[in-house]
Amino acid sequence: MVIGRIFSLLVAARALSGIAGPGTLVIKARGLLRSGINSFFLVGLLTLLATALVGTLQSYRSWRRQELRRIRSNGLVAHTSAGPVEYQVSGQGAAVIYAHGTPGGYDQGLAFAQFFDPEQCMLISPSRPGYLGTPQSSGASPEQQADMYAALLDELGIEQASVIGFSGGGPSAIQFALRHPERCRSLVMIGAIVQRYCPAESLLLLPPWKRYLLQRVEHLLVSDLFLYCILPFIRLLPMGHVMAGMLCSGTIYHLREAGYHNDQHHFAAIEQYPLARIKVPTLIVHGTDDEDVPFEDARLMARLIPRVTLVALNKGNHASFFIRARTVIPIIQRFLTRPHTDPAMLKTPEPVCGGESAGGLQTTAMEVRCIQ
């Protein structure tokens, strides 16, 4: 094909020889030859790009179909007194309910479970109402969701469990500790919402450029195409496979959208919770520079709850839990698995700061641990 193209150029050049002189002929022939070669490479490059684009789109569609199959096939459904609840269970040992963030689903809990030793913790991961296979009628408000957790424990034959409230799972975790104290062994709050939360109002206080940027980021985080593109890079990070699994709990957004909007409605209606009535041992992990859920939420809990440990991630944002997981996860796992009647946990604490050892978690008064 290339040889034929060059031959045709030479024939054209010879035909021109009767019209132009030898010097002009050489210049024109070279120009035509160069133009032909450039066109050939341009066409080749465009063909390669088009082929790569088609291949990428086919790969993306295949990945999205796999995600949909994963979501629909991996969940179990319990028919509880509160209504149908989609859930999964991972590991064995101390029972722990994982109240997922916003958005999320039972698959977020399955990914989170990979942080823990499966021999130490049994993570129970329900899809909160409106997410994936749990209908909103099973419990729209945080209070109703707490009752749903208790009903799920009944169905599973489990008397008592700890609860982890991750980000948007915080209000229902708090309500579980308040409404079912005899069923709640301990409470863990990770970057969790505690007070009234209305991001739309907060955005209005920001400069226009920052408001626009945050809105675009929010849209990207529920964009399947964006998640598909960044997942290979996320997996290269330390514990990246867990982070990738957590991010995938935002895929196929139309199956999570009802839960997301329900959360936003109820978060904006939160009034002051009676936190001082929470008597179970409580562990709070929160970034000091978190712009999504302010650090003041963690401070409020630490001031009011009688038996509390606050782990402050110095200059950490909402994603710092993942970045510092190797340091934080052992603290959480030890807290969840150690008997809360252990004398080591009943000592009068002394505040520490600067990334000291995670040992000796005390819960009779506030302890502050700053992790750099």
pLDDT at 3 over 60: no
For residue 371, with 0-12 CB atoms within 10 Å meaning exposed, 13-18 middle and 19 or more buried, which class applies?
buried
Share of the chain above pLDDT 70, in %: 80
The predicted-structure confidence for 302-318, as pLDDT tens digits, reads as follows: 999 999 999 999 999 99
Kindly indicate the confidence band of residue 339, based on its pLDDT and cuts at 50, 70 and 90.
Answer: confident
Ranges 58-67, 121-130, 200-209, 233-242: which has the least confidence: 200-209
Structure tokens at 313: 């991630």
Q: Which run of H or E residues covers position 38?
A: helix 22-74
In Å, how far are 28, 176, 301 from 366, measured between CA atoms? 86, 21, 10
Structure tokens at 319: 């994603």
C-alpha dihedral (132, 136, 142, 146), degrees to nearest 10:
-80
At how many degrees (to 10) do helices 142-156 and 170-179 cross? 70
Q: Which run of H or E residues covers position 371?
A: strand 367-371
Structure tokens at 68: 């949909």
Q: What is the assigned CATH class of domain 75-337?
A: alpha beta
CB distance 160 to 136 below 8 Å? no
**Cα–Cα dist 284/316, whole Å:** 14
The predicted-structure confidence for 147-183, as pLDDT tens digits, reads as follows: 999 999 999 999 999 999 999 999 999 999 999 999 9
DSSP reduced 3-state for 232? helix
Domain segments of the chain as ranges? 2-70, 75-337
Sign of CA dihedral 308, 314, 319, 323: negative
Q: What is the pTM of this model?
A: 0.80
